[in-house]
Structure 1
Amino acid sequence: MKSEEFDVLIVGAGAAGMMCAIEAGKRGRRVLVVDHAAAPGEKIRISGGGRCNFTNLGTGPANFLSENPRFATSALRRYTQHDFIALMNRHGIAWHEKTLGQLFCDDSARQIIRLLTGEMRQAGAVLRLNTGVEGVAREGDGFLCRLSDGGTVRTAALVAATGGKSIPKMGATGWAYDLAAQFGVRVVPTRPALVPLTFEPGLLEQLKTLAGVSVNAVVAHGRTCFAEGLLFTHRGLSGPSILQISSYWREGDAVTVDMAPGVAVFDALKTARTENGRQAVHTALGRVIPARLAESIAMREGVAGNLADQSDKVLKRLGEAVGAWSVKPVGSEGYRTAEVTLGGVDTAALDQRTLAVKTVPGLYFIGEAVDVTGWLGGYNFQWAWSSGWCAGQAC
């Protein structure tokens, strides 16, 4: 059985793991990165339709969910979005801002993977793919790790960068959570986040004609709201506004949807009634929202006939159905389509500057494995860069 020694063993060759390896290697540490996947950076590769939404210009602690929302502040300040942009620029990778501060590669996400693997090689880090860690034991001040290839690695520092449970078809597992439990570190209960929401069969039947219809919307849950696109699907609702609110939504809760933000629908219908009362209700409503959606709402509200025949009370009800639709999803599409995992390794157990476990010297958790979850729009990649960089300065 082959036995090796390294200063740092990083499990997971994703965004956080590769960033950590680069920084630790620059410090002269002997670094081994292992991943059970056949290629590094698979989430990077598929992100943003293959162009990777690699950060957000507006990144700050307010864009993250956690039991301790302040935990991410130190890492985000020590390695900022502007630091990663500078790294991109040094490598000549062209990028653009799409919307709401979201930055994407002009060309391919593979450029970022090449950037990271190239920086790792330059820093002397060793990357070993198709290799997992099947067992971890404390050995003195370090760790003895048993690899899936039958070999063992002794290491002073062990970094868990294996992400969460989202997108299992790409190899996502709960390995980091199991490791945390082994060493007595609490894991905040996990759930899918940035994920489409689903409806019960009766409501789906009512809305089946709307699959594929999209609108700009404001979607709210309590005091939290997002103004972005919404898409009706054959399972329920998706689109950026829904993915965002899904991180806050819980089973049994309703969300409120304004499908014509900035439009006083009741007033618009009253004006249309005065100007042309002969037109059908859904025709007038279709001047504010997509025609198929207008027809569906009029049918659902039991309103038919001409505008002239409708009272203010009826028009007000239609306005509320458009601008304040309260709907109760029954679930989400789950980890299969979730972009990230909410919850994870309890931040109370970690040093906020280094991401090290306070009670287990040499053990680190970074990236999505930690109970720090960003909004849609590049925030989760920035957390990966920032947390990986911070651990790389210390491990």
Structure 2
Amino acid sequence: MSLPPAGKDNSSLVEASGAGAPTQRGGSDPAWFDAIILGAGAAGLFCAAQAGAAGCRVLLIDHARRLAEKIRISGGGRCNFTNRELDTRAPQRHFISDNPNFCRSALSRFTPQHFVDLIERQGIAYHEKHKGQLFCDHRAQDIIEWLQAQCAAAGVQSWRPCTVLEIDTVTHQAQSGYGVRTSEGTAWASSLVVATGGLSIPKIGATDLGYRIARQFGVPLVAQRPGLVPLTFDAASWQPYVELAGLALPVEISVGAGRQRTAFLEDLLFTHRGLSGPAILQISNYWQAGMPLVIDLLPGQDVPALLLEAKQTSRKLLVNVLADHLPVRLAQALAGEDVLWQRAIDQVPDKALARLAERIQHWQLTPSGTEGYAKAEVTLGGVDTRALSSRSMECTQQPGLYFIGEVVDVTGWLGGYNFQWAWASAHACAEALAVQRVAATAAS
């Protein structure tokens, strides 16, 4: 895909009545829509369906052959589509952004219950899992097929697979808007909605298209990096734990200190290259290169008291005492070649037990990096929300240009929050498109 470089003069892509103007799919003159939506993922599909149902003429464009792959693979194929624990009074608590209060408006106006009401009316069965997470009973495809049906019922036109070649501003019959030249022809619209997602999971089609569009129109970006991603360690330091791959246990994990400390109580998973599991995915959004992780391997337990009590009542080897509370393989890996662990616990000095308790509840490890976008569930950063209206998702300095979903610098916690942002931001945009449609109709 090639777009005009940033800073290109945004004059008309084509003249409305010019000879040799590019044509739309089917060979007729270029079509004028109320909105062209780029990206047929969660945000793009939902926005298209909502705007179309409100009377907007909508064209949905996507480059992928398979629709909404990120929905299809999410939640182990059952799509964790929202989370009931989102606090609508302070929804930003579950989200990360350079402008943390931005997401409050959209999330408080379209809540998890609003989305649940919609799918219940369609008979999509679902269930609640850990910490408010809602999943389809059967398969994620239920959500995709429902969104497709909603778009069809709303008269949304779809070009797919379709490559975007160029985007520019246009003027047609005194109406300003956007021209999108594609591999399927050219279309014009009063509004352009960018719902292209982020950089995560390139094997299912992730690209930087949305960021290039932002740069073209002078919309600022917040630096991007992988989010909700496994963390890795250099081979030498991780060697003692390689054999633990596949082992999981509940932990409390944190980064930072004092008021900057962030912690999660979740399951940790050992891998051949490092750490994964919900605990790591959650903390990865807050981890920065060079920061140590602090892991409590026995959260909620008084480990110093536990060890002192065992000293009074047991003659087991220290490593075996720990194996009563931790997975055996982990206790053995932590022990390593430390001879202290091979002594009977009643022969270990109290100070040594105190140091051991500190290690178990404040185990510090410093990752060398992440598994990158190939394994990341989301992309942190993106379109700077200071350049957008929190009410409508429209660029404040570029009328008619909207950004929704993952391409925006709003990233949710693990557990359905990112889908809820997709639905909420799409709904806010669709409402604005409907208002714009009514105003344009009245003016004509």
Q: Could you say which TM-score interval applies, normalised by the shorter chain? A: over 0.9
Alpha-carbon distance between aligned partners in 1 of 2:278 and 2:370, rounded to the nearest angstrom? 14
What is the alpha-carbon distance in structure 2 between the residues aligned to residue 265 and residue 143 of structure 1? 63
Contact kept, 8 Å, 1:75 with 1:386, in 2: the verdict is yes
Matched, 1:49 2:76: yes
SS in 2 for 1:225: strand
Percent of residue pairs bearing the same amino acid type: 48
Q: Does the residue aligned with 1:104 lie in a helix, a strand or coil?
A: strand
Tell me the equivalent position of 1:12.
39
- The one-letter code of the counterpart of 1:346 is D
Residue 236 and residue 8 in structure 1: after superposition, are their counterparts in 2 closer, same or farther (change >3 A)?
same
CA distance in 2, matches of 1:126, 1:58: 35
> Residue 244 of structure 1 aligns to which amino acid in structure 2?
Q
Question: Secondary structure of 1:9's partner?
Answer: strand
Query: Are 1:292 and 2:326 matched, yes or no?
Result: no
Output aligned runs, 1:69-218, within 5 Å: 69-140=100-171, 141-149=176-184, 151-218=185-252
Cα distance in structure 2, aligned partners of 1:275 and 1:143: 77
Partner of 2:430: 392
Q: Deviations over 1:248-305 (max 9, x none)?
A: 000011110001101122222222222122x111110011110011111122655322
SS in 2 for 1:250: coil
The answer to whether the aligner puts 1:255 opposite 2:255 as a matched pair is no
Tell me, in whole angstroms, the C-alpha distance in 1 between the residues paired with 2:372 and 2:291. 17
The amino acid that maps onto 2:103 is A
Residue 239, structure 1, aligned to residue 274, structure 2: no
| 8 A contact 1:297–1:318 mirrored in 2 | no
Unaligned runs of 5+ in 2: 1-21, 24-29, 434-444
Q: Which has the larger radius of gyration?
A: 2
In structure 1, distance between residues paired with 2:100 and 2:379: 16
CA distance change for structure 1 residues 300 and 120 in 2, over 3 Å: closer, same or farther? Answer: farther
- Cα distance in 2 for partners of 1:63, 1:53 equals 15
Which digits, 9 at most, give the CA deviation of each residue in 1:157-206, with x for residues without a partner? 11000100000001001110000000001010000000001111221112
Equivalent-residue separation in structure 1 for 2:411 and 2:339 (angstroms): 42
Q: CA offsets per residue over residues 34-84 of structure 1, 9 Å max, x none?
A: 111112211111000010000000122210000111000000011111000
Q: Which moved more, 1:166-175 or 1:123-132?
A: 123-132
Q: Which amino acid counterpart does residue 217 of structure 1 have in structure 2?
A: V
For structure 1, the 5+ residue unaligned runs are none
Mapped to 2, the partners of 1:280 and 1:89 lie a distance apart of 56
Change (3 A) 1:300 1:385: farther
For normalisation by structure 1, the TM-score amounts to: 0.97
| Per-residue CA distance 1:222-249 (angstroms, 9 max, x = gap) | 2110000001111111110110000000
**CA-atom RMSD in angstroms:** 1.1
Question: What secondary structure sits across from 2:31 in the alignment?
Answer: strand
State the distance in 1 between where 2:366 and 2:252 align.
Answer: 16
Measure, in 1, the Cα distance between the counterparts of 2:420 and 2:384.
19
Q: Report if the CA contact (8 A) 1:281-1:298 is conserved.
A: no
Kept in 2: contact 1:298–1:318 (CA 8 A) = no
Instruction: Tell me if 1:280 matches 2:317.
Output: yes
1:31 correspondence with 2:65? no
Counterpart of 2:336 in 1: which secondary structure? helix
What SS does the corresponding residue of 1:190 show, helix, strand or coil?
strand
Q: Distance in 1 between matches of 2:369 and 2:42?
A: 29
Q: How far apart in 1 are the matches of 2:146 and 2:110?
A: 17
Aligned pairs for 1:335-354 within 5 A = 335-354=373-392
Residue in structure 2 matched with residue 219 of structure 1 by the alignment: 253
Count of aligned pairs: 393
Counterpart of 1:319 in 2: which secondary structure? Answer: helix
Shift of 1:378: 0.2
Partner of residue 49, structure 2: 22
Normalising by structure 2, report the TM-score.
0.87
Q: Does 1:268 align with 2:306?
A: yes
Q: Counterpart of 1:45 in structure 2: which amino acid?
A: R
Equivalent in the alignment of 2:437: none
- What is the CA distance between 1:144 and its match in structure 2? 1.1
For 2:59, what is the secondary structure of its paired residue? strand
CA contact (8 A) 1:301 1:318 kept: no
Match of 1:318 in 2: 356
In 2, Cα distance between the equivalents of 1:57 and 1:127? 32
